[in-house]
Amino acid sequence: MSGRLTDKACIVTGAGAGIGLAVAKAFAAEGARVVVNDAVGDAADSAVEALRSTGAEAVANHDPIGSVASADAVLATAIEAFGDVDVLVNNAGILRDRMMHKMSEEEWDAVIEVHLKGTWACGRAVVRHWRDAAKQEVDAGNPPHRKIINVTSASGLIGSVGQSNYAAAKMGIVGLTKTWAKELGGLAINVNAIAPAALTAMTEPLLEDPAIAKRRLARFALGRYGTPEEIAPAFVFLASDESNIITGQVLCVDGGLVI
């Protein structure tokens, strides 16, 4: 099946590498027009070049996620390039792992800012943009569905040693997802979250020690992390009209890590 996102304007934050890049590529392959956001400018630009080389429409945005100003700037990039936005993927994230008693205030704040505040700010920006049109469309009957897909993790569902900041932020994102689904359902805005587990630059260091890697992989029913390319189809599904009846859910795409 192809063309499930034809002409849909999509924002993917943190899309210069890893899962975000795989999602941007999967969206483009389904006909989407994509805003590739990444604070690492070279990564965003390289991703856009790769997408355009396939014939896709794509533009880069280099604003660091974590503030209202940056969220508004990402939205403005989409409006300027494509005239609108249909799908928002809140994927940008960082790690500052540290045991609770060793974690600094700066390490706590940095992770909360990018993951939790960034998700809230980007969601706020697009919903403020959508509301008036969505209300009119609902009143007219048969409104189009707009989609927000947030990214949580196993840490956001069951906690993780050494990740007080990350787990708190990711659990907060679950709360945002469920609250927004209730607030926005009447406007035909679907809000869901994905909890992925993929081998990326952020997770590869976790497997450097063979003994630790063996214990960590034993937690997966399938015995391994997924690849970003294996995670991306779940995002396509939730962005497409095939998922119009689904909202307020957390989908674990994690090889059986959280069961």
Total tally of structural domains belonging to the chain: 1
Quick: pLDDT tens for 158-215. Answer: 999 999 999 999 999 999 999 999 999 999 999 999 999 999 988 888 788 899 899 9
Greatest alpha-carbon pair distance for the chain in Å reads 60
Q: Which of 178, 222, 177, 225 is nearest to 205 (CA)?
A: 225
The answer to whether residue 3 is domain-embedded is: no
> By the 8 A CB rule, do 250 and 193 touch?
yes
Residue 52 pLDDT:
98
**The one-letter amino acid at 9:** A
The answer to whether residue 217 is domain-embedded is: yes
Residue 136 pLDDT:
97
The answer to whether residue 259 is domain-embedded is: no
> By the 8 A CB rule, do 206 and 165 touch?
no
The answer to whether residue 2 is domain-embedded is: no
Residue 202 pLDDT:
80
Quick: pLDDT tens for 42-63. Answer: 999 999 999 999 999 999 999 9
Tokens of 57: 């429409």
CA dihedral 58, 145, 93, 177 (to 10 degrees): 180
Tokens of 211: 């003994």
The answer to whether residue 258 is domain-embedded is: no
The answer to whether residue 195 is domain-embedded is: yes
> How many of the other CB atoms lie within 10 Å of CB of 191?
27
- Cβ neighbors of 7 (< 8 A, separation 6 or more) are 31, 32, 33
Tokens of 171: 């659990």
The one catalytic residue in 82, 120, 130, 166 is 166
- Does position 69 have pLDDT exceeding 70, yes or no? yes
> By the 8 A CB rule, do 36 and 13 touch?
no
At 150, which CATH number? Answer: 3.40.50.720
Confidence of residue 241 (pLDDT cuts 50, 70, 90): very high
pTM of this prediction exceeds 0.75: yes
Q: Which residue has the tokens 């390039």?
A: 81
Residue 10 pLDDT:
98
Tokens of 2: 């192809």
The answer to whether residue 68 is domain-embedded is: yes
Section 80-102 average pLDDT: 96
Over pLDDT 90: what percentage of the chain? Answer: 93
Q: What is the domain extent for residue 48?
A: 9-253
Q: Work out the mean pLDDT of the chain and round it to a whole number.
A: 96
Partners of residue 60 on adjacent β-strands:
36
Question: Is 166 an active-site residue?
Answer: yes
**Higher-pLDDT residue of 64, 205:** 64
Q: Which residue has the tokens 């469920």?
A: 178
